[in-house]
Structure 1
Amino acid sequence: MKKKLKKKIGQLHLWLGLASGLVLFTVALTGSLLVFEKEIDQFFNPEFYNVAQIGKKKKTIDYCTSAIQKEYGIEKLNRIIVYGDPKRTLTIIGKDSKGDSQIFSVDPYTGKTLGTMAQKNRFFSIVLSIHRNLLMHDIGEIITGCSCLIFVFMLISGLVLWWPKKAKNLKQRLTVKWKGSFKRINWDFHSTFGFYTFLFLLIIALTGLTWSFKWFENGMYYLANGTTDKPSAKVENPVKIDPKLDKTDFYQHIYHKTDSLFPDKGNMQIRMPADTINSILVLKEHLNFNIPNQYSSLYFDKYTGKNIVVRPYESSSRGDKLKRLIYPIHTGSIFGYPTKILAFIVCLFAVTLPVTGLLIWLGKRKKVKTKF
């Protein structure tokens, strides 16, 4: 009975692997690049991320945004990112008259624009889109999501197939016979390193499901909080009509107010609402936590700049805190370079799995044909 079950699992492992192999190859390859996205981008575009010289005093955020809006015809600001590192440039994202999002790098000490690029043409924006939806939007998200589910099954079924019948065969399963034939090396490489990377790949795959399926995210909240309820990421703006107040230092006021409430060193994002209903969201990252993506949230009236809601990190539910851990766990950035290097290596190995699996299948087909 066990032998028959294992055979059926093996057949499912084979055919599901062949069906999802190309998608897995693409997602794993782009994922390995995204692990070191910041490092690669900053290496090739240092002037976009760092100022040539640290000045004595920074220009106001409003001075920098006004200069960009006038020079480049930006009609709507989407996001402003202020970094805690004095060497870092100010990042401003806005939409032009055609509705295309543009990214600007600004020297905060001079207000001078150091670089600009269309967000859709940015290399890593394209890589991320391939990783999440194969450049096919909603349909692509379904394909990658289903492939991720298949990969979870492949990992578990692969462990079942790898598991030796007898304890004396364990040593053989834990090593690659490098002096063997190509067929043997390929089989050992696929199964042995599949075992060693099993847990890490399973964690990466499961965390990746958060972006693919709402039911998975709801399940995560239910496990953490006992309910699927979670606070909305949006807060309705209390003022419905723009009172046309003096807004000379509007964003600078929001920045100072946030910094006074949360003085810890950290980067800050000011996000403007995409609609006419909701307020401005500000995220203040807490770098002193030693784990990235941990932040407090504040909401400001988009017309008056008045602080509406304050949500400190400490007041977040267990579900919210767990969700904020998903991204650093998935990308390997949770404990800095040691886990990033580990994530990079296991992602590169995942790239080889469809290839070595295909070679195993072709070898079996060739063997069957030679019998006739």
Structure 2
Amino acid sequence: MKPFSKIVKKIHLYLGLSCGILASISGLTGSMYVWQPEITTALNPKLLKVNTVNNISEEALLKTSLTLYESQKDTVAKIFLPYREQQTISIVYNNGQTLYYHPKNGMVLGKKSASISFFEDLLNIHRTLGIPKVGKYIVGGSAILFFFFLLTSGLFLWLKKYKSNFKKGIKIKWKRNKKRFNYDVHKTLGILFFLPLLVMAFSGGYFTYNTYYKEGFKFADGSTINTKPKKKKKVGTTLDILDLLENPDKKYSLRAIYFPKDPNEVYQFRYIKDRFIVPGLRKTKELKLNQNGKVINATSFDSHPISEQIAAQMYPIHIGEIAGLLGRILVFISGFVPIILFITGLRSYYFRMQR
């Protein structure tokens, strides 16, 4: 074997044995989280479902939110309007408690359940391993290594051996000794799921290193013809915060309000084009106001440069929602592949040590 091939093989081996276990944890937790909307809704119908939600207007949703806020404003930290699996309104209070309310009449439906908390913890493990501060860098770093080196080195080794016989490269011979069968499973799953894993690893790194990703995406801005941005709320203008709750945005639906906890923080209004899960592009809008009602930041998908529009798609791409149900199924299945590759790679290393 040529020296370069030996180097690639060692890179693939040692990265597989190290960051392969992190990729396995991310893959398994990610697969579980793909179906979080359906599972939490099934387990919490009283908290999350409303039979007539499609008949409730945006004006009614904002009116209920405003009424709830005005009745207990000093204790409110965040308000979440219907979004994704949640068809109700939830309020996070300054003491950390979360309560759910009917979106039309404002009746209390209950507090956050154990199953909802479980999926929040699962997402935290997926993104940070549950390790404060440094966990996200461990996960993000392993995703980048997985993308740039582990997958590409595996592709190189596969092409070197099977580029002239593709059929043999994806075939598993079931009636073989355990060593050859183990190798067949590893190389076949590796090549068949190469593209899904590549996309998942690349988009996964975004959540840790989004600043660098956005800088990289800016290459797309230079390749497009500059057009006049659509009108938006100008930075520096003053808005009545309560007025935003009384008058719906014409294009976007309000999905969350974050209230300041101290004098240095701001009000954040986050909007979404589609309240519930749909395939296609994710279009958002955000408005930040200081505590005097002065607009300090205003962004929307309609006026974003191409780089920002691409960045906004990292989440639906990562979880498969951009491609609808089939995309989510593909991500769900792909999430189990890293643990299989890790186990078969570990077994290959064991067989090699035995020899």
Normalised TM-score (structure 2): 0.82
1:194 aligned partner: 190
Equivalent residues of 1:262, 1:284 under 8 A apart? no
2:282 aligned partner: 293
Matched, 1:144 2:139: yes
Q: CA deviation at 1:178?
A: 1.6
Equivalent residues of 2:235, 2:296 under 8 A apart? no
Q: CA deviation at 1:111?
A: 1.9
Larger radius of gyration: 1
Task: Give CA-to-partner distance per residue, 1:257-302, whole Å, 9 cap, x none.
Answer: 3x2x3245x4522222454235422222112995353122334564
Task: Give CA-to-partner distance per residue, 1:297-330, whole Å, 9 cap, x none.
Answer: 33456456x7776544211111211111111101
* RMSD after superposition: 3.3
1:32-71 correspondence runs (5 A): 32-51=31-50, 60-65=64-69, 69=72
Relative to structure 1, is the Cα distance of residues 120 and 78 closer, same or farther in structure 2, using a 3 angstrom cutoff?
A: farther
Q: Return the alpha-carbon distance in structure 1 between the equivalents of residues 302 and 197 of structure 2.
A: 31
1:134 aligned partner: 129
Task: Give the residue type in structure 1 aligned to 2:274.
Answer: L
Relative to structure 1, is the Cα distance of residues 168 and 61 closer, same or farther in structure 2, using a 3 angstrom cutoff?
A: closer
1:335-346 correspondence runs (5 A): 335-346=323-334
Normalised TM-score (structure 1): 0.79
Relative to structure 1, is the Cα distance of residues 16 and 36 closer, same or farther in structure 2, using a 3 angstrom cutoff?
A: same
Q: Return the alpha-carbon distance in structure 1 between the equivalents of residues 291 and 93 of structure 2.
A: 16
Task: Give the residue type in structure 2 aligned to 1:293.
Answer: R
Unaligned runs of 5+ in 1: 227-234, 240-246, 368-372
1:174-189 correspondence runs (5 A): 174-189=170-185
Q: CA deviation at 1:27?
A: 1.2
Q: Return the alpha-carbon distance in structure 1 between the equivalents of residues 143 and 83 of structure 2.
A: 36
Q: Return the alpha-carbon distance in structure 2 between the equivalents of residues 274 and 332 of structure 1.
A: 35
Matched, 1:115 2:110: yes
Task: Give the residue type in structure 1 aligned to 2:45.
Answer: P
Q: SS of 1:163's equivalent?
A: helix
Task: Give CA-to-partner distance per residue, 1:333-366, whole Å, 9 cap, x none.
Answer: 1122111111111111122221111111111111
* Percent of matched pairs sharing the same residue: 27
Relative to structure 1, is the Cα distance of residues 256 and 186 closer, same or farther in structure 2, using a 3 angstrom cutoff?
A: farther
The higher-RCO structure (CA 8 Å, 6+ apart) is: 2
Matched, 1:256 2:246: yes
Q: CA deviation at 1:150?
A: 2.2
Relative to structure 1, is the Cα distance of residues 348 and 186 closer, same or farther in structure 2, using a 3 angstrom cutoff?
A: same
Q: Return the alpha-carbon distance in structure 2 between the equivalents of residues 79 and 174 of structure 1.
A: 51
Relative to structure 1, is the Cα distance of residues 267 and 315 closer, same or farther in structure 2, using a 3 angstrom cutoff?
A: same
Equivalent residues of 1:89, 1:106 under 8 A apart? yes
Matched, 1:92 2:112: no
